[in-house]
Amino acid sequence: MKKTQITIKNYRCFDDAHPARIEIDNGIISFTGPNNSGKSSLLKMFREFKNIWQVLSTPSSIVQFAAAKHMSLSLEFINDPLEIFSDSNNRSISIEFEIEIDESYNLNVTSPQLFSNKLRISAERSQPTIWKLEVFSKTMGQLTTDANRIQQAGNILQIEIGGAWHQVFTSDLASVFSSLHKSLYIGPFRNAINVGATNYYDIQIGEGFINTWNSWKTGHIKSQNLAISKITEDIRHIFGFNSLEITASTQLKTLQININNKSYKLTEVGSGLAQFIVVFGSALINDPDIILIDEPELNLHPSLQIDFTTTLAKYAKEATLIATHSIGLARSVSEHIYSFQRSNNADSILKCNT
């Protein structure tokens, strides 16, 4: 994905005096810091806004939104729309996305056509489900608020400012949102596999997972059969087993694990191995662009934490974002580390340093 800077203001603990500012790029990015400093909140934000990422994930839908200026959008995973607004003030939430302009833009852009490299969504507390969209270009700055006319021509945003019509291409921004929409969130506490057919955030656990594993392993689709073989081989290699086979039991109630020709039920193996199977399996089945994982170190001996995280990151087509208490893990695996801090004088004021 294109290098994208994201600035988040007045979302939960990130008030506008201490916004969260991160850059996402391909590879692994870590969030570290003390308890309650906002690591999980920032990770979850990417999931909570999925409805909005979806609306922005094609050039034509960005153009429609920009022309309308406002859109009524409820966030799928939030019951009370005011919950996400920072408790420390009454101002709007805003999230800004700015794509880095590299030389390929100069080669592609011929004046007066403009690329749009920045977009801001915002909502006010008084109308928490009405989202406003503003579009910016590198050369012209803010385009939509001051425009006399905004119209759609296919995938192109046509904007009239001072009598001149500009054509703005939003395809790179749309591809960032498409990747965010195709993200997989993996929450903490992942060792509960035998708990009926259910979901834990975005991943299937329990019998639902076992059913999917079985149909991928034994079904007609070759790519799915191969994918299960690949995960099994990855896990065998990481744990140093001579042989490993993972099959669903006959009633599809549990997984049968055959390690070095000895058979175990999933409940008989350690929670670390169970976590590898459920998380790698879910990642492969979902085929995400971005993986968001909270505390990848959970249940794992330090020697396995790095292998777990780097192997999992290979199942994401683009980026993997982790929130972790292990600075050692963050240092070993990440391209970028963001360290979060709590303010000393007020619980709700937090700082996010890059």
Where do contacts with ligand ATP occur on this chain (CB under 6 A)?
Answer: 12-13, 33, 35-41, 85-87, 323, 340, 348
Q: Which is nearer to ligand ATP, 40 or 194 (CB)?
A: 40
Instruction: Output the CA angle 211-240-291, nearest 5 degrees.
Output: 50
* Shortest distance, position 4 Cβ to ligand ATP, whole Å: 22
* Shortest distance, position 300 Cβ to ligand ATP, whole Å: 17
Return the residue nearest Mg ion (CB atom). Answer: 40
Strand bridging mode 244-248 / 255-259? antiparallel
Q: Which is nearer to Mg ion, 189 or 264 (CB)?
A: 189
The entry of ligand ATP, Mg ion, none near residue 348 (CB within 5 to 8 angstroms by kind) is ligand ATP
Instruction: Report the C-alpha gap between 51 and 129 in whole angstroms.
Output: 12
* Shortest distance, position 10 Cβ to ligand ATP, whole Å: 9
3-class SS string, 111-147: CCCEEEEEEEEEEECCEEEEEEEEEEECCCEECCCCC
Tokens 């799915």 belong to residue: 224
Residue 295's region, left for phi above 0, alpha for psi from -120 to 50, else beta, is: left
Peptide bond into 81 cis (omega under 30): no
Binding positions for Mg ion, 11-40, rule CB under 5 A: 40
The entry of ligand ATP, Mg ion, none near residue 296 (CB within 5 to 8 angstroms by kind) is none
* Shortest distance, position 317 Cβ to Mg ion, whole Å: 25
Q: Which is nearer to ligand ATP, 37 or 282 (CB)?
A: 37
Asked whether the beta carbons of 117 and 101 are under 8 A apart, the reply is yes
The entry of Mg ion, ligand ATP, none near residue 50 (CB within 5 to 8 angstroms by kind) is none
Question: Partners of 256 in the beta sheet?
Answer: 247, 265
* Shortest distance, position 291 Cβ to ligand ATP, whole Å: 17
Under the rule (CB under 5 A), what is the footprint of Mg ion? 40
